[in-house]
Chain A
Amino acid sequence: MELLIQAGIALAKILIVITVMLLTVSYLVYFERKISAWIQNRRGPNRVGWYGALQPFADVFKLLLKEDIVPSNANKFIHSLAPFITLFVSFATYAVIPFGPDIKLFGRTIQLALADVNIGVLYVLALTSLGVYGLTFAGWSSGSKYSLLGGIRSSAQMISYEVSMGFSIAGVILLSESLRPMAIVESQYGFMWNALIQPIGFITIVVSAFAETNRLPFDLPEAEPELVGGYHTEYSSMKFAGFFLAEYANMIIASAMIVTLYLGGWQFPYIDKFGLSMGLTAGIQVLSFLLKMALVLFFFIWVRWSIPRFRYDQLMNLGWKVMFPLSLLNLIWVAALIMIFNI
């Protein structure tokens, strides 16, 4: 019986998270279009539904109804597998991100995270490094040189920036002395947000997150003038939708990770001092997590429509010669803080 209840709770959490994720992804696309329209002083989608609110569903139907074209000299098996790998990685990553404190419901404690893994941070890193495979396989199996170059570009880019991302995460781990996302969030009580303690690390992780998600200014795999559509040039219909979905899911995960690691996660500064009831506190904390995430996501979109694209060599130079040393510097900075203040 106990096992069944446990399984039921886990299943419920998974269902909620996946639904929220999928909805967020579709509306993220909508908001991206709306915000870009706003930035460029035009209207954006406004035909389907109220102010175009049903636009994402229309897009999905359009993609579903399109013909699925596989190039004749593509490797069929890997060609169809690649979007699944990408999607799997994006969704599996979300398992360890805590979106709220422990809550008491019907006499049992429920953690507001799908899994409170001891080495959650490493789990995310490992899965991110798996994400490369989706792109590489997609690029290779299409049997087109644009796809291949796009795939290799994006995976080289992801691998390069993974290094500085790893090191900026290391700074966080050094302070929290734990690889558990829950513990990392709890260590940022009050205003002890890592973004304030280690600003260099915050900068490097944000920049790396842009590169990891292949977003502008680092969206070289999709540089239209040179590479057509990059690794997904030869994809159409739902397979293309898979990549599209994964890109936005990755954005959500990246912002959730940034919030968890650097912006205090679900912590609302000093909320326990307000004397609110348990449920209300938890509600505010979950909301504050979502709000922070929304702000980071807005930042992502804002940057996309404001900054021009880097050239490929500039991107690599920035990654290896600026971001990587900076993230090392951040590590030294944190170590020095710990030495001096005995945090």
Chain B
Amino acid sequence: MEFNTIYNNLFYLVPEIAVSAFLLLVVLADLILGNNKKLLPYLSIAGMLVAGFCVMNQMTFSGAVFSPSGQSKSFGMVTVDSFGAFFKLLVVISTILVVFFSFSSEEIKKSTRRQGEYYTLILGMVLGMFLMISATDLILIYLSLELMSLSSYVLTGFTKLKDRNSEAALKYLIYGAVSSGLMLFGISIVYGLTGSTNLYVINTLLQSPQINMLALGIAGILIFAGIGYKISAAPFHFWTPDVYEGAPITITAFLSVASKAAGFALLARFIKVTFVSSVAPSGHWLLIPVFPWKELLIVISILTMTLGNFTALWQTNLKRMLAYSSIAHAGYLLLSVAVLSNQGLVAMLVYFAIYAFMNLGAFFIVMIIANKIGSEDLEDYKGLGYSMPFLGVTFGMFLVSLTGLPPSAGFIGKLYLFIALVDANMITVAVIALLNTVVALYYYIRVLKEMFLSKPTGEPVSLRLSPLSLILILVMLAPVVIFGVYFTPVVEFAKSCITILGM
């Protein structure tokens, strides 16, 4: 590869370069400004805005860059397409929201001296996610996954004053190390089979019949273990509740939305680019018959959502409950991949666009209440609906949307998912998912019941919302309400974003 080619290819990586530049800027600013850390969050937000702007510019791009010499030009290491741009936008938006969350988080405020590290690591996570979303080379996939994981391990244990926090970080690290080891082993088997780490090259090689199915099957499962860990799919979900409970809420919210989005983008792209030979005119993907992705994904997703929903029933800590709820949502989202069609992809994008706002919103309100009453236990939420009417009502709306009841936006997400399922003749699966939603209804509504129908136990607390918090809640509430009734733009946007560059 000549220097000129590298230089031209860099043009496709402008968002990633912007994120890296701002990452370094935050480190330097932290050093230069000394004890004045006020500027750092604004710098991170500025970085995200610049990155978001660059991503918007790339909306119509499509191409694979950084192809190793001796390979066809289209067999690149990084693929830039509208699918990737959609997820990058999602990551950018949730990062901006999470940085704003951090303004009002008591946990983060306590460690003022380490603010610089906090924002640096968040930007590091964003860079990892960006590359995960558009990686089409196994080495790059592994590295970006590690970049994201490393930052998130540290962020999970960021506030060191609580034992739970360090426990969460350690658990996250140990599970993460095992799963990335498994993934690396899978990658090495794939490399041994094909002699390449490039997904496009592997795709062409898989279409020849001499591939050993058993070896490829094991490799596929191992690589899926690495990705499944990131999206907390069962049986790789064990870390989720502990980590979500122990981590600072801002990070919990970030993990549950952004890193999950990046994981799903990676999974969808990995399957599409590596294992799909062509796309039928109806939008269905024709799998190369070497690995039963559909069956595997269906089994895993049913397991994930059932486990998530049923375990959530018994939770008394709201962060833990939301953790299990996010496992359940990962199950639904896995179904949208399992459909293996463009309709499934649209459903996934719509679902994610809505899920991001409602989940972040729910976590934000839990955080505000925890700031005030110092607890996330359901017990302490008794009667809060009366002492904090605004928060109670908005929290209710987020929860209803998470359940997927009409007329909230969550309903639209589920609707498109079920349409895609029925379209692909997966009626049984659709019914199981529907039944799961009914279970989910119970534990979401239970929170509302505690808030509005129980007598407050202690003194009534009153809370004055800061203007920033109010604006943030409204910003997150708006899409949840509006997309519930007026959803055409989201769907149209999602439909325009399903190009995954592949064979």
CB atoms of A and B under 8 A apart anywhere in the complex? Answer: no
| Chain B residues within 8 Å of A, Cβ to Cβ | none
| Chain A residues within 8 Å of B, Cβ to Cβ | none
